[in-house]
Structure 1
Amino acid sequence: MNPDTMIERVMRTDFPSFSPQTPIREAVAMLARRHTPAAPVIDASGALVGILTEKDCFRPMLNASYYQQWDGSVADHMSRDVRTLPVDLDFVSAAEEFLARSHRVYPVMRDSEVAGLLHRSDLLEAILSASEFGPRPS
């Protein structure tokens, strides 16, 4: 495989992550501040135990607006069934994963550790840059 078309080249390595005990209000604020649609949830042993998405944040946010208080932790609201991608996956296979599901972000794994996050928009840009069809925008 061509190393220039592996997702490791375009994944984000500077990303927020949360522990399951992080207060949900703090996590929602971090996602908003960092303009990221999701962040991995990593336990004390370093294992990926979930992902907190913007969609996951709407229920606690709406409850907070109604009851005038935030309640719960990341563990109470995160998605536990996390689909991941291996660090050595090629662009085409990653694009097929995005086509098959409505995910905007995938955790990228090296062995059992989260090595980065692959955003749908970053992959789209990388494929466009690598393609030979059509003129490239300036």
Structure 2
Amino acid sequence: MRAQQIMSRRVVTVRPEAPIADAIRSMLAHHISGLPVVDSSGKLVGILCESDFLRRAEIGTEHERNRLLAVLLGADRSAGEFVKEHGRKVEQVMTPQPVTTSEQAPLEEVADLMERRRLNHVPVMRGDRIVGIITRSDFVSAVAGPLANKSGYSEDDEQVRRSVLAALAGMPWQPVGLNVGVRNGTVTLRGVVKAGNAHRAVIVACENVPNVRSVEDRLCIQPAHPDPEDDYGGGDFVSLQTEPSTLDDEPL
């Protein structure tokens, strides 16, 4: 999938010279958590997000400062924090030069970008123009589509059975002695599988096969760390060491 397939095309923007009070009202009215900031020519110059309001003088969350700390951090950084915490215009509070992506960017690339940079919003660009925005909620909506479409179960249980076997084939956690039965879309699994993630992976793989209604788990679970008795078939152990003789070894 591409960025353009899940992005929100109706983008609410704000001008950099706008009062932050107006920007906040716009965010609340449209139920959005981020506003791209564009200048008079339509060029993207920043983004205003909920996180930009974490440190504000109005609610007493601004950074505590003292003269020594200001010297250590540098006057420029201290001044920048003061502007962001007390600024009245969008351009004083926004995050400048936001990270962006293109319409044709693979969705995997966008997800990696948002995860790596810890972003909640990524403006989507066509050249130097913003044409959309992707938020984490857009990913939720994208996932919901395929899940909702997984309906209309097939009555061809044999086809489902073959699909389950194909889904598990070659997996390092495939159950030993796997036996798969399907009836009316319900998959019954038999075999031996290791406990923990391997067991969970088998169930999830089956649940993701098209036309599977449910999974009946009859797998035998092999402990992740078997007891020593399990390695030797259990039971008591008899030492084969010969006891030292208490008799005189000298011949009669």
1:86 & 1:114 partners in 2: Cα distance? 9
- Residue 63 of structure 1 and its aligned partner are, at CA, apart by 2.4
Secondary structure of the corresponding residue to residue 118 of structure 2: coil
Residue matched to 1:23: 19
Residue number among 25, 28, 35 corresponding to 2:31 in the alignment: 35
Alignment of 1:58-69 (within 5 A): 58-59=54-55, 62-65=56-59
Runs of 4+ with >3 A deviation: 127-133
Residue matched to 2:247: none
Quick check: 1:64–1:71 contact (8 Å CA) kept in 2?
no
Gaps of 5+ in 1: none
TM-score normalized by the length of structure 2: 0.46
**Alignment root-mean-square deviation, CA:** 2.4
Query: How many residue pairs align between the two structures?
Result: 127
Residue matched to 2:130: 114
Tell me which structure has the larger Cα radius of gyration: 2
Deviations 1:42-67 (A, max 9, x none): 001211110001111333xx42356x
Residue matched to 1:56: 52
- Residue 39 of structure 1 and its aligned partner are, at CA, apart by 1.1
Quick check: 2:11–2:131 contact (8 Å CA) kept in 1?
no
Indicate whether 1:72 and 2:88 are aligned. Answer: yes
Residue matched to 2:101: 85
- Residue 41 of structure 1 and its aligned partner are, at CA, apart by 0.4
Quick check: 2:87–2:93 contact (8 Å CA) kept in 1?
no
Quick check: 2:44–2:130 contact (8 Å CA) kept in 1?
yes
Secondary structure of the corresponding residue to residue 20 of structure 1: coil
- Residue 120 of structure 1 and its aligned partner are, at CA, apart by 1.4
| Equivalent residue letter for 1:85 | T
- Residue 109 of structure 1 and its aligned partner are, at CA, apart by 0.2
Secondary structure of the corresponding residue to residue 115 of structure 1: strand
Secondary structure of the corresponding residue to residue 118 of structure 1: strand
1:105 & 1:55 partners in 2: Cα distance? 11
Residue number among 2, 5, 12 corresponding to 1:6 in the alignment: 2
Quick check: 2:102–2:124 contact (8 Å CA) kept in 1?
yes
| Equivalent residue letter for 1:109 | M
2:27 & 2:144 partners in 1: Cα distance? 27
Gaps of 5+ in 2: 61-85, 151-204, 211-252
Secondary structure of the corresponding residue to residue 96 of structure 2: coil
Which structure exhibits the higher relative contact order, with contacts defined as CA atoms closer than 8 Å and separated by 6 or more residues? 1
Distance 1:79 1:71, change over 3 A: closer
